[in-house]
Chains A and B, each alone.
Chain A
Amino acid sequence: MEDIIVRYVSRFILPFVQLYGLYIVLHGHLSPGGGFSGGAIIGASMILYALSFNLAEGSKKLSHDVSSILESTGALIFAGMGLISILLGANFLANGAAGFPLGTPGNLFSGGSIAIITFGVGIKVASTMATLFYSLIEEEHSHEHH
């Protein structure tokens, strides 16, 4: 699809969309939203980019390979934080009980492992959205060639 209006508008709003998504992910332990909602916004911004420019341009920014690697990484961060709690001598996924610094409630740097887990979830959801999009598109392309 070649449409100059769509391209210009999306080029203009994309940074704001991504920044907003990042904001929601990073404030997951403080405000409504969190890893899933923020990750979905970031993932949607990547889909918007690939739709308004084209698939080749989108793949240059975030290829299918990279997005599926990020997908695994996000999930591994989550599970890894749980295992770190066990290594610290508490139960799986323990937070304060395992000795993660909890900080002052309400500050950006607080909440111990929750912030890191939310970040992992954000990566996972954003890259899953992109991966699903690529999988659907590539399926469509491979059918056209048949």
Chain B
Amino acid sequence: MNFSQHLPALIVVVPLLFAFVMPLLARWRKQWCVPVTLGAIIFSFAAALQMAFQVMSTGPFSYYMGDWPPPWGIELGIDYLAAFAALTINGVGLLIIWFGSKDLLHELKPEVLGWYYTLYLLLMASMVGIVITNDIFNMFVFLEICAIASCGIISIKESRDCIEAAFKYLVLSVLGSGAFLLAVALLYMVTGHLNFTFMAEALPEAMVLYPNNLLVAMGLLVVGLGVKAALFPLHVWLPDAHSSAPSPSSAVLSALVIKVYAVAMIRLLYLVFPRELLGIAPVMEMILWMSTLAIIIGSMFAIVQDDIKKMLAYSSIAQIGYVFLGVGLMSESALVGGILHIFNHATMKSMLFLAAGAFIYGTGARKLSELKGIGHTMPIPTIAFCIGAFSMVGIPITSGFISKWYLALGALDVGRPFFTAVILISSLLNGIYYLPIVVNAFFSKPEEAVPAPKQLPREMLVPLALLSFGVILFGVYPSLILGIVYRAAQLLLGL
């Protein structure tokens, strides 16, 4: 029995299995909850690492659930994009929950702590499922698990704001799922397949016979996944949901959950729908303009915020715009930039949210004006916040610079310097709201005497340090991750 050949199934099943063990542990062995959760995610991370090596050495491979070959059975397809996304999800997710193991103690009631780990593991399993599945209905099932679990980790705090935000998110997210399901039905109707590969083969012929059907399906998919990914005019749920949730939830929602839907959309638009269909309706052009608006308007909203987590949430709207900018430009460099930004934004935004969580843990301050001089009392989270802020602005030697660089190159490649200008302007806008925080943290005095902040435990400091190390490392040596991103982009563009 070759164990490693089962990794595509186990990477989803192991977190799912332990999600169901967690309520039992929470009842009898409370102190085991955290180590078991960490263990399950470490397993998934190791599996993702192994799959990434395998895919880089021997090329994409697939796994048939229950030994039923497609089109009958469910196929899990590990290509470059899937391996890259699985690695991102598990790597960042591990650090977030490690931080959360201490931070959650003060944010949640003790009796719901066990449930938080259940929801978190379900979320991890479903996100990995979305990125590695090669079957559209299976993807829908994982989308639903992901939607429920992400609402759960917001509303678990049981404050008025959280429940209101989670309800808003639930309603819009379910609308998105409904649109997705309708699109699945329309696609199944004209192609007779649910497997992506078979669907892609059947679509060119179906497109001639039923063009309207397919256009509606594509519109529903873009809107359904766009709502979930908070693409600009569909972002209304995001600021409340991401700012009111407990800090580890905000981090995982902003860093990973919205990206997963972007990965799903990339896969569908590039690998399933025929290129000619994209010619009939200007979908890519629409995505391009929506992402441009997201980048500019998201940053503008962020400038006027006073609450640190709300500001980070609006910044996420702008940053998801970069990912979609890369998708919409359809050139190799731009797509590399967009996909790379999935990873880079995941590391830096989770770091920023966790640093904000550390400030709240230490001092209880959420307002930007209360964070003056915080650099002297809480140096490590502030330094992490600074590195994250520099990376957001795109200052060289941080990873944010690399993805913006590729996006700008991609825009020039296809002869649209306008979008390079958009990236430049948004970098300046990012500077306007991130840099004053950094300056105030180190160079200004608090307005009134503040009590000394609570000492941060090691479990919270180490993930912050690792994430900031990662942002610098992948800014100085981007080739560590660029190899797999390049291959993913080439596979998607059919080069």
Contact = CB atoms under 8 A, between A and B. Distances in A.
Interface of A: 65, 68-69, 71-72, 75-76, 79, 82-83, 85-87, 89-95, 97-98
Contact of B66 (A68, A71, A85): A85
A73 B66 CA distance: 22
B24 A91 contact: no
A89 B3 CA distance: 9
B23 interface: yes
Interface string B123-164: 000000000000000000000000000000000000000000
Nearest to B74: A93
Contact of B20 (A76, A83, A95): A76
A82 B67 contact: no
A95 B66 contact: yes
Contact of B67 (A68, A76, A87, A91): A91
Name the residue in A69, A91, A97 with the highest tally of chain B Cβ atoms < 10 Å from its Cβ. Answer: A91
Contacts of B9: 82, 86, 91-93
A87 B13 CA distance: 14
Given A91-B66, A92-B6, A72 B23 contact: yes
B23 A92 contact: no
B6 A72 contact: no
A94 B27 CA distance: 33
Name the residue in B6, B17, B64, B66 with the highest tally of chain A Cβ atoms < 10 Å from its Cβ. Answer: B66
B67 A97 contact: yes
Given A65-B27, A91-B9, A92-B6, A72 B21 contact: yes
Interface size bucket, B side? Answer: 10 to 19
A92 B63 CA distance: 9
Query: What 6 pairs between A and B have smallest CB-CB spacing?
Result: A92-B9, A97-B67, A75-B20, A93-B66, A94-B67, A91-B67
A97 B20 contact: no
B16 interface: yes
24 contacts: A65-B27, A68-B23, A68-B27, A69-B27, A71-B23, A72-B23, A72-B24, A75-B20, A79-B16, A79-B20, A82-B13, A83-B13, A86-B1, A89-B1, A90-B67, A91-B6, A91-B63, A91-B67, A92-B10, A92-B13, A92-B66, A93-B9, A94-B66, A94-B67
Interface of B: 1, 6, 9-10, 13, 16-17, 20-21, 23-24, 27, 63-67
A76 B6 contact: no
Given A75-B20, A76-B17, A97 B66 contact: yes
A76 B21 contact: yes
A71 B17 CA distance: 12
Contacts of B1: 86-87, 89
B115 to A, nearest CB: 10
A120 B157 CA distance: 31
Contacts of B27: 65, 68-69
A91 B16 contact: no
Contacts of B64: 91
Contact of A79 (B6, B17, B23, B67): B17
B24 A86 contact: no
A101 to B, nearest CB: 16
A85 B355 CA distance: 44
A93 B13 CA distance: 11
A72 B20 contact: yes
A79 B24 CA distance: 16
A122 to B, nearest CB: 16
Contacts of B67: 90-91, 94, 97-98
Nearest to A92: B9
Contacts of B21: 72, 76
B164 to A, nearest CB: 17
A139 B329 CA distance: 51
Contacts of B13: 79, 82-83, 92
A38 to B, nearest CB: 20
Contacts of B23: 68-69, 71-72
B20 A92 contact: no
B419 to A, nearest CB: 44
A89 B66 CA distance: 11
A93 B6 CA distance: 11
Contacts of A68: 23, 27
Name the residue in B6, B20, B24 with the highest tally of chain A Cβ atoms < 10 Å from its Cβ. Answer: B20
A87 B17 CA distance: 16
Contacts of B10: 86, 92
B113 to A, nearest CB: 15
A141 to B, nearest CB: 16
Contacts of B16: 79
A56 to B, nearest CB: 21
Nearest to A97: B67
A27 to B, nearest CB: 21
Contacts of B24: 69, 72
Contacts of B63: 91-92
Nearest to A80: B17
B152 to A, nearest CB: 13
A92 B1 CA distance: 13
Contacts of A72: 20-21, 23-24
A139 to B, nearest CB: 11
A95 B1 CA distance: 17
Contacts of A65: 27
Contacts of A69: 23-24, 27
Contacts of A83: 13, 17
